[in-house]
Structure 1
Amino acid sequence: MPPARSLAELPPIPEDVRKWRILLLVSAANSLTQRVMTYLSDLGCEKVSTELALSDESMISAVLAHSPHVVLCPFLTKKVPDVIWENVLTLIVHPGPPGDAGPAAIDWAIMGDRGFDADAATALPALQAPSDRSKPIGERQRTHWGITVLQADHTMDGGPVWAWDQFPLNDVAYTTKSSLYQGPVTNATLRSVTVALSRIQQEYAKLNDPTHRGARVGVKVDPTWALQCVSYSQPFMGGPLNERPQIKPGQRRPDLTLHTAADVARIINCGDSQPGGTLKTAKSFMFAYDAHIHLRASDIPSELIQAAGHEDFDANPAGRAIATRDGAVLFKTADCGHGNACSYGCGVAVWFTHGRLPKANAAAALSAKVSMADALVAAGEASRLDGVPEWPIHDFQEVPGTWQQVFVRTIPAGEGLVQLVYWDFYNGAFSTTGCEHLLAALHWATDPARGNVKVLALMGGQYFSNGVALNIIESAEHPGRETWANINAIDDVVEFIAGDLSAQPRSEFLAGTPSLTERGITTVACVRGNAAAGGVALAAACDVVVSAGTVVLNPAYRAMGLHGSEFHLYSYVERCGRSVATHLVKDMLPLSAVRARELGLVDVVIGGRDIASQQAEVQIVDFVRSLAAAPATAFGTSEFASAPWTLPVTGWGGAPSHTQSLVARLCDNKRRRYALETHIPLVHYRHEELSQMLLDSFHPIRSQRYHTRRIKFVRKVKAEGTPTRYVNHRMIITPDEEESPRFDDAPAWVRGEEWSWVGLQTPASMATSQSLLIDFAAPLTPLASTRNQDSASSGSEPSNDIRTDAGSNVASPAVVEDGSRRVASARSLSLSRSPPSRPLLRASSTSPSSPTSPRSRRAPSASTPLVRLAAARTHCSRPSATVAPCLSSSRVCSARARAAT
């Protein structure tokens, strides 16, 4: 078999494709949608627009407005209206290889379906039965899975194949649907979409009139494209393919008395995220999520077993709860029959971290996902936890073979140690208790008792972090108070990481404790999974941010009706400059890792845009190890880029010592920076942010907005329209509420009084620190949109390390001496290149009645673009007007119409 081709090894997308109007029709702006959006933007596709498929009418209207060369549907759960695919070539991304169909393709694959039984009615019971893990993996499940990019037609997922790809399928007992979807499925989608668009362009180029819409729809597909995948040029290697129906909740229900832990995990995790697996209750059933296998009974403390009145583990009946940990519940499962030395990964028990009650009726909204312990109580199953002890945490060292919400790996590097801190918070949500647990682990990992720790690396998990836990907040008795507790808990984590000096005021929990900076410990954010809101700010607060090339970052909180905290007023502005930082939180658009590096939010990108997660972890750990062992002379090199606060300051005495390490140099620079008289204590930023979060949690108007949006998000209320930040195809739109400066108004509020709402005195810093806030009403210059040709290939390639102005609240010289090298500070570097995309600026102070305003209402003449657009729409065989991004600073008009060429 030939070696697999990566995205970077594929031919670049043709220049013509970058000029195309591409419309994304999606059911939601989920992780796959955002990966496609950011990928196309980074490649230079300037005319990409997105429409939520809320109705046939909205989809048809979007196509008429954008007149796309191609409609692309990376995540669509409903059929495309006939009138669209009959007139515009429409690509559907199906999460299965060619020949596999149905709405639950991935679910069946993770359940262990090998495809040999064509009858789903008889195949499913076999998958629900206990499996024999002593058999080779190829006899228990498929060895490969894939995705297909096909052309929509009158069939459902059965049209001509433009491209497809496949990938090895790991052990399904240790694979969740979300990890498969966000990893191999998404990576294969990018490769297949790249090839499909290139092939379409080649076919369009053969037409006598490439602008003829009917001719474009009718281009022929080479039948061999359905036979050979993109990566290997091989047919599908995972077994027979067929159509499978949706799996019902009752068919995702393991029996803890019959199934091994591996079988329970396989059945539960095939429905991970949505809809979830199920457990039987006395009244009905409940949904269960996030199952983790516990391999060995010997790892369970004897006192936990004896607490239930049994001498040993075997005496406990299968199905009984053994222990709880941070709200998760450990259940004993059926014996596999392989003996105590089972080497097949069957496990002896299973952890469930979260649960949810089913809807009361079909019209009801979804309930919130909460910890499994709380879910059992809510389901009337509290008796199952009677006498069940909490499994206490004595230390955070990794214990392979069980589930640990947070654990630490220690590796030697140079003259010191690196502490790798991993966490596994479900869906990346940092609850109050989860943050407290993580903070305890960070204290433990950096305690002098661990040794000479030099680098603290935040490794995260499948997600790096998505900020506060909205589901837990929603289920709380008082969501406002839980929001306040949650944001303070995650702020504690970030403040610990930021490491301000003890000479400056800090939060009480750090009083009298030397900071990481003083102790010479460098912090590294290792972003291996997607991050959003407070999770991005958590990473940005670290001295070095290294990201896998597959990551998507969503720095904004605004769409949820939150100002956000986590010291982003400091880290975003320091890293990116005030103008770009304002764009990050105001524009609410996702960023690829490469784009985030160009803006200064990320320092180093590891691997290509389709690097496998295991490979990314290995390479990131290698980077951290190299960082810890590097000499001081490596400072300022492109290999070891770092945050602006690690730059040297004026007056520092000459070249670094030959014996000094890079880590020591970074911390020394940071100490000197923090010691400047002009340095604003970081806790002042925290107070300003928390002041705004108090308004979001308790102010009668702002809190109502946040609570309403959170309820809709948690309970999956159908969206009312496409967020205007995604829309490039409408001529005139009404900006969403969050795009208005008035969104931040708090009528009748008196600055400082908000602290009394939670029984606290107004911090003294509030008297002088209001300037730290980002002014959402201030005019902004659109971000640069010049494309570097080197970044136009399909892969992920090196880019220059970019910084922007450091804002007005820093004290840093323009250029300072660093031995024989001259190091440019953040202030002296400018944004020199960025991928082509429409300007991120939304707000406008232009008066609607101004003659220069796009909102001006004038009767259109026959020569105006508006009239030409309407005329073009009447001819189905010709493309209608091109809708290109508006380069005006106004957001009222989202696009300019011009005649098609």
Structure 2
Amino acid sequence: MKILLLCTAFNSQTQAVYTALEDRGYEVAVVYAISEEQMLKETEDFEPNLILCPFLKRYLPESIYENYPTYIFHPGPIGDRGSNALEYALKSHTKEWGVVILKANELYDGGDIYAQQNFKVRETYKASLYRQEIVRASLQALEQFFVHLKNDEKTPQLLNPIHEPFAQAKRFIDWSKDDTEAIIDKIHLSDSFPGVLDEILGIQCYLFGVHKEDKFRGLPKEVLAKRDGAICLGTIDGAVWITHLKEVGKFKLPATYVLKEKLQGIKEERLPLVFDKSYNTFYEVSVEKRDNVAYLCFGFHNGAMSAEQCIRLKYAVEYLKNECEVLVLIGGMDFFSNGIHLNILEDSAKQGEDGWANINAMNDLVRSILYADEVVTIASFGRNAGAGGVFMGLACDYAVGKEGVVLNPHYKTLGLSGSEYHTYSLPKRVGEEMAESLLNDCLPLSVEKAKALGVIDEVYAHETYHEELHNFAKSTYDDDFIRGKQDYLEEHREGIEALKEKELEVMHPEFWSEESDFHTLRQEFVYKVCPRETPERLKVKPTKEETYA
């Protein structure tokens, strides 16, 4: 069956559906919803049997749904219609929400429903609910969909009123009246888009990344402290941390990068290198220990890692090597890691220099993992990972994944060749030919497919993941393994380092040359520039006959 994914962007939900369909053996292509003419042309080129729309922010033209069976994923239960579904779910503090797959027709979210999957709503921010519960429910609904489609089992949609747009007026924070929980709720339901519009120290900006603070107190909206790029603001009954701001018309950055000299005199309130989570506050690096295993968590916003964050994480790895027998890298709540920090590089007045510092700091971190020969190291891909974040994980002795997680083991979509010792770690696992294919195709990979290829070692079910991960981790430590690892690294260190130096040699002009594609592609990524066409790697590949016709 030929299935076309018609989408606004190739986001986490679309990639999860894409990899699930690919793993089922379907012929899958992607078309971006840019214009009716373009959509229709690319759809006709592929001649799909079926169109699925996992993430679509514009109306579908009649020319599509009248000529092809087209089904839309909607992030809400039966009867929910319109945009901003998750905002309304979080605002109402509902305990249960859902995903439906409905047939596209002339009614806005009004077609018959062919699959539905409900889930419990976590107390979290909108993007986290989307990346985890919505994506997982989408995959579960997809399983139902094919059965129901085959049997023509459908449920009429309840034609409830369509949501009003969730305007900024509904998100507005009144710092003189809203308590801490109300402020957290408003930022949560607006994160990661569009954020809450406010004014901080005279700068009009959107607020993101809120964390409750137990210890600091001050006047409402008073800046009380800063830490690792975040700022702490007083509330009428406590305080909150805001990690990121976005000036109107610009892009998201750590809050201190936006406020700069306006924070003069505000103290940097540091935490221990590895925080024990004994009270509510903002932190990025923490550890949990169980038996002989240490689980290193690093919750960097959107998985992006600046030079400074890489250095801190490297120090944490070096410290924990002496505190455990097995070190498991966990990553954050929504991402394992996505590599270097593109937004900070775009903001830099010395982009080449700071980019070079970032990739070298990332390499220093990977080196500390790779040469940790006193312990067994394990990468836990319990969340999605991309680019250098994947290869940081592959520097570990073992890599395991949670079902449904997607990896993007490539760099070239941003004009980079990459480092992080990937020319050593990836061929070591899959061979030179497959490594080149993964790096050049620039396509997402399910952890199930990654295991089949040898990229990772194990995949565990969602429901039992943490217990199975722990049992696996406990089973890996062995004195003979450690001795063998030490001997191997001692023998091959020179060759491994030579591969890394070659990576950096290729990367140098990508950061420093004014003609490098990286600068343009990074800017488009950071400013979220709407694509002008479907990326070539996702388009329908012409057959040999078409190519030479």
Shared fold (TM-score, shorter chain, > 0.5): yes
Look up the match of 2:421: 567
- Aligned residue in 2 for 1:27: 8
1:459 paired with 2:326, answer no
Q: Distance in 2 between matches of 1:603 and 1:410?
A: 23
Written as runs of structure 1 = structure 2, the 5 A alignment for 1:832-871 is 855-857=547-549
Within a 5 Å distance, the mapping from 1:658-807 to structure 2 comes to 662-676=477-491, 680-701=494-515, 703=516, 705-728=517-540, 731=542
Instruction: Describe the superposition over 1:117-169 as per-residue Cα deviations: whole angstroms up to 9, x where unpaired.
Output: xxxxxxxxxxxxxxxxxxxxxxxx21111111111111111111111111111
The structure whose residues are more often strand, as a share, is: 2
Give the letter for the 1:531 counterpart.
Answer: A
Amino acid across the alignment from 1:95: P
- Higher RCO (C-alpha 8 Å, min separation 6): 1
Q: Report the AA paired with residue 227 of structure 2.
A: R
Counterpart of 1:372 in structure 2 is 255
| Alignment partner of 1:94 is 2:74 | yes
Among 278, 287, 290, the residue aligned to 2:206: 287
1:157: which partner in 2? 109
* Distance across 1 between alignment mates of 2:169 and 2:357: 37
Q: For 1:407-556, what aligned pairs fall within 5 Å after superposition?
A: 407-412=286-291, 417-446=292-321, 448=322, 450=323, 453-461=324-332, 462-499=334-371, 516-517=372-373, 519=374, 521-556=375-410
Tell me if structure 1 keeps the 8 A contact 2:101–2:113.
yes
Match of 1:590 in 2: 444
- Shift of residue 731 of structure 1? 3.8
After TM superposition, the structure 1 = structure 2 runs for residues 99-498 of structure 1, keeping only pairs within 5 Å, are 99-110=79-90, 112-113=91-92, 141-171=93-123, 175-203=124-152, 222-223=154-155, 242-281=161-200, 285-294=204-213, 296-297=214-215, 313=217, 316-335=218-237, 348-359=238-249, 367-377=250-260, 383=262, 385-400=263-278, 401-412=280-291, 417-446=292-321, 448=322, 450=323, 453-461=324-332, 462-498=334-370
**Partner SS for 1:464:** strand
- 2:17 corresponds in structure 1 to 36
Matches within 5 A, 1:61-76: 61-76=41-56
Partner letter of residue 286 of structure 2? F
Cα deviations by residue, 1:491-534 (Å, 9 ceiling, x for unpaired):
111000000xxxxxxxxxxxxxxxx21x2x11111111100000
Q: Which structure dedicates a bigger proportion of its chain to helix?
A: 2
Q: Deviations over 1:752-809 (max 9, x none)?
A: xxxxxxxxxxxxxxxxxxxxxxxxxxxxxxxxxxxxxxxxxxxxxxxxxxxxxxxxxx
Where 1:536 maps in the other structure, the secondary structure is helix
2:288/2:296 contact within 8 Å kept: yes
* Identical columns (%): 31
Q: Which amino acid aligns with 1:82?
A: E
What secondary structure is seen at the aligned counterpart in 2 of 1:566? coil
- The change in CA–CA distance for 1:854 and 1:666 in structure 2 (over 3 A counts) is farther
Provide the rounded CA distance (Å) in 2 between the counterparts of 1:321 and 1:327.
13
Query: 1:663 and 1:330, CA in 2 relative to 1: closer, same or farther beyond 3 A?
Result: farther
TM-score (ref. length: structure 1): 0.59
Equivalent-residue separation in structure 2 for 1:691 and 1:722 (angstroms):
32
Structure 2, unmatched stretches of 5+, are none
Name 1:60's counterpart in structure 2: 40
RMSD of Structure 2 on Structure 1 (CA): 2.1
Give distance in 2, aligned partners of 1:585 and 1:222.
41
Which amino acid in the other structure matches residue 524 of structure 2? K
Change (3 A) 1:199 1:260: same
Q: Deviations over 1:836-869 (max 9, x none)?
A: xxxxxxxxxxxxxxxx885334xxxxxxxxxxxx
**Is the Cα contact below 8 Å between 1:473 and 1:483 reproduced in 2?**
yes
Opposite residue 178 of structure 1, the aligned amino acid is A
Provide the aligned length of Structure 1 versus Structure 2.
547
State the shift of 1:248 in Å: 2.3
Structure 1 pair 399–94 and aligned structure 2 pair: CA distance change class (3 A): same
Conservation of the 8 A alpha-carbon contact between 2:201 and 2:259? no
Distance 2:478 2:130 in 1: 37
- Per-residue Cα deviation, 1:533-580 (whole angstroms, up to 9, x for no partner): 000000111001011112100000011000110000000010111011
Between the aligned partners of 1:86 and 1:853, the Cα distance in structure 2 is 30
* TM-score for both structures, normalised by structure 2: 0.95
Residues 1:624 and 2:470 aligned together:
yes
> 1:807-850 deviations in whole A, cap 9, x for unaligned?
xxxxxxxxxxxxxxxxxxxxxxxxxxxxxxxxxxxxxxxxxxxx
| Counterpart code for 1:464 | F
Where in structure 1 are there 5+ consecutive unaligned residues? 1-19, 114-140, 204-220, 228-239, 301-312, 336-347, 360-366, 500-515, 631-639, 641-661, 733-851, 858-901
Q: Is the 8 A contact 1:268 1:278 kept in 2?
A: no
Provide the rounded CA distance (Å) in 1 between the counterparts of 2:503 and 2:185. Answer: 43
Question: Is the contact between residue 627 and residue 663 of structure 1 (CA under 8 Å) also seen in structure 2?
Answer: no
Q: Is the 8 A contact 2:336 2:382 kept in 1?
A: yes
For 1:611-659, what per-residue CA distance to the aligned partner results, in whole angstroms no more than 9, with x for missing partners?
Answer: 26xx63x33xx5335533x3xxxxxxxxx6xxxxxxxxxxxxxxxxxxx
Query: SS at the partner of 1:290?
Result: strand
Shift of 1:396: 1.2
Distance in 2, matches of 1:716 and 1:686, equals 31
- Code of the residue aligned with 1:533 in structure 2: it is A
